[in-house]
Amino acid sequence: MKNRALYRYLILASICFIALVLSFTAAILISVNNKAERHELWQVLIIIFAIASSIGLTESLKQFFTQGRFFKTLEMENSYTLGHKTTFYNLEAFKTRVSFLSKKRRLKKRRQFIIAFSCTSLKVASNSFNSDMMMNLNYNVSLFLEDFFVRKGTYSSRDNAYGFNRGVFLLCLFSDDEKKIPEIVNSISSNVYRIVKEKSFKVYVQPFYGIKEIIEGENITGAVEDSFLARNVAESNFETYTYFNKSFRKETNRDDIYEIEEALRNNEFIIYYQPKYSLIERKFISCEALARWNSPKHGLLTPGMFIGKAESAGLISLIDNYIFELALKNLSEEIKRGRRVIPVSVNFSIYEFYATGFIDHVLELLDKYKVPPHLVEVEITETTSQANQFISISIIKKLKDIGIRVLMDDFGVGYSGIDNLRKIPFDAIKIDKSFSDLLVEDEKTRSIVKLLTELGHTNEIEVIIEGVDSQEQVDILKKMHIDTIQGFYYSKPLPLNEFEELLKNNKFEKKERGQ
């Protein structure tokens, strides 16, 4: 970036200098000519050419030195933010570049997107223990981005911009095909994971992206801030990427925060249980604990109606821990009452899973409620396991040593790697509901599900599929030799008393027993 800009002005200055020398040479030759009166027009033209060359030389040298000072400033700034004297653009340089590109005739009619992304949670990145390593990671990502946009034909550095500010990378892409944006996002994420693996960085990563389409005439500074905000929302909701929405600018209502804190104090959060049916054992073998808020004011709320507010208020970890402890408490009471119990799986976010003392907290609660570890399962997403493969493998092995099974949730969605099944010691994978939705009508989906099942079995991993709603889906899955099914076909999520009744008396297990 630096050499190209400086060389351009240096070459231009050289051309102007040569033109100026030629002008003076021509003027001297004409002046010594005896027939000078016949060359008055040429003399005027040469003078004009000489003046233009002088102006060009002056401006070129001015820009050369201005750019030199500019890149010197970038080097100084990047030595603090990226740990190296690189000329990777900062925020102001990025906005200037975007403004320039926006005025180019052939780009004016194309849609314009600002993308803000970080390699991980900014809270994690700011941790002093991780700061040097995160800085080095960001530097390596900046090198990759410069190379990426040089190699990519569709998104060349000639027509796009990239920069870095406040721990966040910025991209400006021009495209008429919005479907290209997720492709770029996935490609960047894959390479971020590759860099971490190749460089052996001992810090977990999880890229979060905020995307904002610039409307014609919109202020670039505002669009950049909107992309930052969308990135923060993506992180809060643990989504790979999120498009900006005007509603994001509404601050969390203090009443909402108070209500959630009050709900936790009043034990208003409860668990609904959804069972998992084994096609091999032909019975319910486990279940998933799903949070519900039984609000006196709003009624029964599903996670989608309160998780966003809880995340914005910084209360999501309290809810996660509350649900986990409640699941163990309910299990303990069921065991004491002599009821039929099956293992319960509990979801943990990336922040809880990697939190200091996570394993100790799990052990403490198991001992408090005297629950056998084999009755507890931990569900994490594949992206959580990939955030830092070295640390996640260590945590998973410790959980397995305790006797707790670990499940990979949402397998097949986002950044999925076959190699993950071999390296990370999961007990089961859960194929995402998006696959079961298209299972009946789409042959390609059936082929993918069959392949994922075979991959799981090759690695001696149980294969579970979510979101199964019909007999037709079940029949297809039986032919694929899926191990376990979770979905409304067998049961919707149920409160504890109804779930107890389901385990005692249900048509599926009765049918298998011939009753």
- 125-139 pLDDT, tens per residue? 555 444 677 888 888
Closest CA to 110 of 163, 154, 166: 154
Per-residue model confidence as pLDDT tens digits over 362-406: 999 999 999 999 999 999 887 777 766 777 888 999 999 999 999
* Cβ atoms 343, 378 nearer than 8 A: no
Residue 332 has pLDDT above 80, yes or no: yes
Per-residue model confidence as pLDDT tens digits over 199-225: 888 777 878 899 998 887 778 888 888
- Interatomic CA distance for residues 318 and 296, integer angstroms: 20
E-state strands within 59-126: 112-118
Secondary element (H or E) of residue 151: helix 131-151
Per-residue model confidence as pLDDT tens digits over 340-360: 999 999 998 776 787 777 899
Residue 154's pLDDT band, with cuts at 50, 70 and 90, is very low
Neighbouring C-beta atoms of residue 399, cutoff 10 Å: 23
Give the model's pLDDT for residue 129.
Answer: 45
* Cβ atoms 85, 65 nearer than 8 A: no
DSSP assignments along 164-226, one per residue: EETTEEEEEEE-S-TTHHHHHHHHHHHHHHHHHHHHT--S----EEEEEEEPTT--HHHHHHH
* Cβ atoms 111, 58 nearer than 8 A: no
Residue with tokens 């397995």: 400
Q: Find the mean pLDDT for residues 179-196.
A: 85
* Cβ atoms 466, 278 nearer than 8 A: no
* Cβ atoms 142, 84 nearer than 8 A: no
* Cβ atoms 57, 20 nearer than 8 A: yes
* Cβ atoms 343, 284 nearer than 8 A: no
CATH number given to 91-249: 3.30.70.270
Give the model's pLDDT for residue 1.
Answer: 47
Identify the DSSP state of 37: G
Give the 3-state DSSP-derived string for 366-425, with helices as H, strands as E and coil as C. Answer: HHHHCCCHHHEEEEEEHHHHHHCHHHHHHHHHHHHHHCCEEEEEEECCCCCCHHHHHHCC
Residue 269's pLDDT band, with cuts at 50, 70 and 90, is very high
Per-residue model confidence as pLDDT tens digits over 4-62: 555 555 555 556 556 555 555 655 555 555 454 555 555 555 555 556 655 655 655 45
Identify the DSSP state of 253: P
CATH T-level topology, domain 260-504: TIM Barrel (3.20.20)
- Interatomic CA distance for residues 281 and 278, integer angstroms: 5
Neighbouring C-beta atoms of residue 302, cutoff 10 Å: 13
CA 271 to chain centre: 29
Per-residue model confidence as pLDDT tens digits over 172-187: 888 777 778 888 888 8
Residue 263 has pLDDT above 60, yes or no: yes
Q: Across the chain, what does the average pLDDT equal?
A: 79
